[in-house]
Structure 1
Amino acid sequence: MLTLGNGRLWRALPILCAGLLLLASGPAPAAVTQAVPARHRAAPSAADLAIQLEALLGQHSVLAADLMRSRIRGDDDFVQAANAALGKNTSAMTTLVGQLFGQAAADKFGPMWSEHIVGLFTYAGAIAAQDKAALEEARKELVEYEEDLGDFFAGASQGRLSRAAARAAVVQHVGHLTGQADAYAAKNYALADDLYRMGYQHTYDLGLTLAKSLLPAKDVATLGQPLWRLRSQLGKLLAEHAALVEDLTRAAVTGSPDFDSSGQMINGNTADLAAAMDTLFGPAAAKQFQSLWADHVEQLVAYSSATAAADKAKQDQARTEMAGIEQRMGTFLAGATSKHISAADLTAAVQKHDMMLMKHADAYAAKDYATAHDVAYDTYQDMFGLATQLADAFGVTVAARLPRGGAQTGYGGMAAVVESR
């Protein structure tokens, strides 16, 4: 088992949030969880849609990797649920491509992207069957899909993204997914999980590259503004956190041999959060929040393990511990914001996140994989709303401290290729 309480990198996420709120340049919103009625919401801007594209592409990478791993394990029920989640993601992405780039682009994109997923599914099946001939055929088909997708993106960019660069990006995406599947089948979980994270980060960053190459110039300019970049980066890190916590709790539920490597993925994500915190705020907030966050993560894992063991007493104990942590977290954050956001509202935001993660663990332990995937899907998407609220709370002054360039800002992938054109 991992020793979570002593792992400094497990503790960075709420520390980051606390630091962001503490250093806000303007008034915070009335409530983190306050919903705006749909009739009063403004239509999303192209910049907002660009973040959605990043989010959906990153989610695709996670879902595709999970699908391939479940095929390799021979877990057919999980495969079906994972495939349904991928279908939902693909539908949302195709709709978004239409909103961003026109219906003609969406009509071409949807079938190509679906074929790409079928190729990944087939590849994982060939690994599971140890069928070398089928594996080579799957590789050949994936190369064709890579070329078609690359050519599609290059053509849609009207010369801003070269065919070679577009193909290279898709090749890298597929390489991360097939590589993690190969390593997972070989029980090299450390390598598999390194590639899992690389795949998420690269594919998320690809969303920015595509937006910058396909959107009109006036919209592209917005993507370089500090507040947009901070929304994008916070969303990237917080959503990855949600996905990786769910991966860890699944490993805790099943007692699978990749539990330790799943924990190291969380460590990597929190290291990135810690780097962002150091850049923006320094280490002071981290020292105040460190112990509380470690306890929070420990209790999520404890709850998942108790759920797997059907140990109600330990489940109740974990819930009780989490409730106390949520209250203390809300109080701490309220003080950090001079009560511009109430302790009750902040506590409710943390409770919502915990409840979704516990519901995911419950469903997974009961082998209700459809519900587990639905909850995981929603939890991932929910993190982008929180990221936007946090970014908006502390405003442009703090956001401007985020460095331009580099993977830490969401400017990885092929951004330099597009910017040089």
Structure 2
Amino acid sequence: MKAMNKATTLLLILVMLIPVGGGAALADSHQIEEATVDTAALEMRSEIDRLLSEHGFGTITLMRKIFNKEPDVEQLKELANLNSQDLHAGFASVYGEGPADEFIALWNEHNALFVEYATAAANNDQQAMQNAMDKMEQGSHKIATLQAEVSEGKLPEAAVAEMLITHEQQVKASFDAYVAGDYETSYAMQSEAMAYLVNTMSKTLSTAYAEQFPELYDNSKALTVAGNLRSDLNLLLGEHFAVAGTVMQKRFQDAPDFEASLAALNANTGKQAAATTSIYGEEAGNQFAALWNSHNEYYLQYVDAVKNNNAEEKEAAVANLGQFRDEFSQFMSTATEGILDADTVSEALQMHVDTTLGTFDSFVAGDYAKAWTTAREGYAHMFATAKTTSAAFVQQFPDKFAGFPAMPETGLGGMAGMFDMNSILWSLPFLIIAALLVFSRRKVLE
């Protein structure tokens, strides 16, 4: 964990994402700030959450597909290119085109070496695999040097390098386990890698960026209790969408890692259900789990209908998803005491279902470009849902989300020690945190 905390520094470079309007008064960690998830700094942090977690999931998925020699490899490479373009634009908006060009060249090499490693694994070329990792570590230090320079030493070079190397090792561990046929470990490491990118890297980078350039973010803070809630929901809802799409493809392909991917999806649901129970009680938690698991099952019903070319069963699956949407929307509205309007939730949930099914349909049709374009839209939608959901929860329980989490003193300005992946919601009690996450997820699910 210590290494991961230091590692957080590196992607500050990525933190230079396009600033957004809105704001809150500047305050130190001992002051009380109004509970809100809508500030300029939190918009920036959420965008970093999205781009870094998309990079992590997309890279691991691409490497698996390269190893399996699947037909949509080139389309996934294009997804990585689009992600890099967004990172470049954000970096350039703060440091200018020259430094941004230097950064993105190094970052694209980082991506290319993951491809090189997976290709070598597919050819069982151990030496080429080692060469790729050696070059990747060298590149980490180059990025660290650049990051230290552009931050004028505010982000230590050694800590930045360690952060990026930690990320690379997590991706490698997930892929190596997949190659070895240990699919359960592979998907568990995938979840850990995504969590690290959001809970550690993005959190630290956005915090540092808001402090380095306060005028760009209306003097608002990227590290607040309410902001942590929104970020936690970003991770959970984003992971749900990403893994649900994987599960559907694996089921259609009768892939050997289908059961492991399904277990990862169920684990995500379990976290949401536990959170619901912690704040609303066992009955509500059970109700949530039943509803959420039903929609996952309807996705599988849809896949089986497509595999069997059964139009009637396919129509039934779509109808079941519609019924789930209605029931879950009412459940969310009731739980939030009407703060989340059932119709609003229904619209958001329909978008989630449409992009999930749309991604799968395009994949089955062999239109891989459309499949991954739709997947990227659906993934981004989950982050919008996380914002709406976390905003409602903060409105319902404002006292619980006002102010700032404790910031222990560290070599990174008090940021490093805060990002222990074993604690998602920081200073809030675990049960409350979990409950909050559930709320957010519900909204996202909409």
Task: Please confirm whether the aligned pair reaches a TM-score higher than 0.5, indicating the same fold.
Answer: yes
Bigger drift between 290-299 and 66-75 goes to 290-299
How far did residue 174 of structure 1 move? 0.8
**Equivalent of residue 44 in structure 2, options 38, 41, 49:** 49
Partner of 2:173: 179
Per-residue CA distance 1:73-100 (angstroms, 9 max, x = gap): 012x311010011111110111122335
Per-residue CA distance 1:6-52 (angstroms, 9 max, x = gap): xxxxxxxxxxxxxxxxxxxxxxxxxxxxxxxxxxx869723311220
Partner of 1:249: 248
SS at match of 1:310: coil
Find the aligned partners of 1:383 and 1:294 in 2 and give their Cα distance: 18
Find the aligned partners of 1:379 and 1:222 in 2 and give their Cα distance: 28
Bigger drift between 196-205 and 209-218 goes to 209-218
SS at match of 1:355: helix
Find the aligned partners of 2:404 and 2:272 in 1 and give their Cα distance: 12
Partner of 1:132: 126
Tell me: higher relative CO, structure 1 or 2? Use CA pairs within 8 A at least 6 residues apart. Answer: 1
SS at match of 2:72: helix
Partner of 2:424: 409
Asked whether 1:329 is paired with 2:324, we answer no
Asked whether 1:299 is paired with 2:314, we answer no
How far did residue 213 of structure 1 move? 2.8
Contact 1:227 1:399 in 2 (8 A): yes
Per-residue CA distance 1:350-381 (angstroms, 9 max, x = gap): 12211111111111222222111111111111
Asked whether 1:90 is paired with 2:84, we answer yes
- After superposition, the Cα gap between the structure-2 partners of 1:275 and 1:103, relative to the gap in structure 1 and judged at 3 Å, is farther
Asked whether 1:399 is paired with 2:401, we answer yes
Aligned residue identity for 1:261: A
Partner of 2:66: 71
How far did residue 402 of structure 1 move? 10
Contact 1:194 1:265 in 2 (8 A): yes
- After superposition, the Cα gap between the structure-2 partners of 1:289 and 1:139, relative to the gap in structure 1 and judged at 3 Å, is closer
- After superposition, the Cα gap between the structure-2 partners of 1:102 and 1:267, relative to the gap in structure 1 and judged at 3 Å, is farther
Find the aligned partners of 1:237 and 1:316 in 2 and give their Cα distance: 29
- After superposition, the Cα gap between the structure-2 partners of 1:104 and 1:308, relative to the gap in structure 1 and judged at 3 Å, is same
Bigger drift between 96-105 and 380-389 goes to 96-105
Find the aligned partners of 2:343 and 2:383 in 1 and give their Cα distance: 21
**Equivalent of residue 141 in structure 1, options 130, 135, 143:** 135
Contact 1:101 1:215 in 2 (8 A): no
Contact 1:308 1:365 in 2 (8 A): no
Find the aligned partners of 1:351 and 1:305 in 2 and give their Cα distance: 21
Find the aligned partners of 2:255 and 2:403 in 1 and give their Cα distance: 41
Aligned CA-pair RMSD: 2.7
Aligned residue identity for 2:40: S
Bigger drift between 125-134 and 308-317 goes to 308-317
Find the aligned partners of 1:410 and 1:154 in 2 and give their Cα distance: 29
How far did residue 397 of structure 1 move? 2.6
- After superposition, the Cα gap between the structure-2 partners of 1:269 and 1:342, relative to the gap in structure 1 and judged at 3 Å, is closer
Asked whether 1:209 is paired with 2:204, we answer yes
Partner of 1:162: 156
Find the aligned partners of 1:167 and 1:318 in 2 and give their Cα distance: 48
Contact 2:42 2:227 in 1 (8 A): yes
Aligned residue identity for 1:184: Y
Bigger drift between 228-237 and 153-162 goes to 153-162
Contact 2:336 2:393 in 1 (8 A): no
Per-residue CA distance 1:315-336 (angstroms, 9 max, x = gap): 1111111111112222333333
Partner of 2:32: none
How far did residue 181 of structure 1 move? 1.8
Bigger drift between 43-52 and 239-248 goes to 43-52
How far did residue 122 of structure 1 move? 0.7
Contact 1:100 1:215 in 2 (8 A): no
Asked whether 1:368 is paired with 2:367, we answer yes
- After superposition, the Cα gap between the structure-2 partners of 1:401 and 1:363, relative to the gap in structure 1 and judged at 3 Å, is farther
Aligned residue identity for 2:86: A
Contact 1:280 1:398 in 2 (8 A): no
Partner of 2:430: none
- After superposition, the Cα gap between the structure-2 partners of 1:344 and 1:226, relative to the gap in structure 1 and judged at 3 Å, is same
- After superposition, the Cα gap between the structure-2 partners of 1:394 and 1:290, relative to the gap in structure 1 and judged at 3 Å, is same
SS at match of 1:215: helix
Partner of 1:387: 386
1:230-309 matches, within 5 Å, as: 230-274=229-273, 276-277=275-276, 283-309=282-308
How far did residue 196 of structure 1 move? 1.2
**Stretches of structure 2 lacking an aligned partner (at least 5 in a row):** 1-20, 24-38, 407-417, 428-446
**Stretches of structure 1 lacking an aligned partner (at least 5 in a row):** 1-40, 413-421
Find the aligned partners of 1:151 and 1:279 in 2 and give their Cα distance: 45
How far did residue 160 of structure 1 move? 3.2
Per-residue CA distance 1:274-324 (angstroms, 9 max, x = gap): 454456555453133332222111101211222233222221111111111
Find the aligned partners of 2:208 and 2:43 in 1 and give their Cα distance: 16
Find the aligned partners of 1:53 and 1:249 in 2 and give their Cα distance: 27
Find the aligned partners of 2:163 and 2:225 in 1 and give their Cα distance: 25
